[in-house]
Amino acid sequence: MDAHKVVREFEQEMAKYTGAPFAVSVESCSAALFLSCLYCNVKDINEVLIPKFTYPSVPASIINAGGRIAFEDINWHHDGWYKLLNTPIVDSAKNISRGRYIVNHLTCLSFHAHKLLPIGRGGMILTDDKEAVKWLKIARFDGRHECSLPGDKLVMAGWNMYMTPEQAARGLELLQWLPDKNITPPDPYQDLSKYKFYTEANR
């Protein structure tokens, strides 16, 4: 039995729905942002500009990937997303809509229990970059391929950020009822620029 089949099916169906060439599922949107930051080598970017009113995992993902952050008065777009400036990464935690994919970007989605496709926990990265897909799929799964461990050839030290088959099955079930346009306004986030530990991490 292929325990990973349902995960691949969910990725394929989400790619069709959003118009993305590829979709890579992970255990949360925070994981999607972190792995995207690693893949894009944010450590080599002078500063990644993000809204000061956003979720804490966004600056944490950048910092933990070795990057430097700068908080700006950047507003979320009216349709529930924003770009991490100076990168090709998009935080689309508040928008999961048909045809949502943005060309030449890594678009990160959230399937949290309070989000638009509430499978309980989970996230996804939309992309048209084949090399990104190869790296992300191995990085999210402890450096493993989607096969039995005894027969696998490990190629890197990855992270335990794989979406479970149970989550993927729930996603497939809910996706068939998802309307074409799904947007929620940004939460009343705190002003993260007031916390010194974020800026001190830049030193």
The encoded tokens of residue 1 equal 């039995």
Give me the residue spans of the domains in the chain.
5-200
Instruction: Measure the CA–CA gap between 120 and 72, rounded to whole angstroms.
Output: 31
Residue 185: what pLDDT?
78
The encoded tokens of residue 9 equal 């099916």
pLDDT tens digits for 123-164? 999 999 999 999 999 999 999 988 888 888 898 999 999 999
**Does the global pTM surpass 0.85?**
yes
Q: Does position 169 have pLDDT exceeding 70, yes or no?
A: yes
User: Are residues 13 and 23 in contact, defined by beta-carbon separation less than 8 angstroms?
Assistant: no
- Residue of 155, 167, 153 whose CA lies nearest to 3: 167
Considering the domain delimited by 5-200, tell me its CATH architecture. 3-Layer(aba) Sandwich (3.40)
Q: Does position 188 have pLDDT exceeding 80, yes or no?
A: yes
pLDDT tens digits for 14-49? 999 999 999 999 999 999 999 999 999 999 999 999
Give CA 48 to chain center in angstroms: 16
Q: Does position 66 have pLDDT exceeding 70, yes or no?
A: yes
Give CA 8 to chain center in angstroms: 16
Q: Lowest-confidence range among 8-12, 106-110, 177-181? A: 177-181
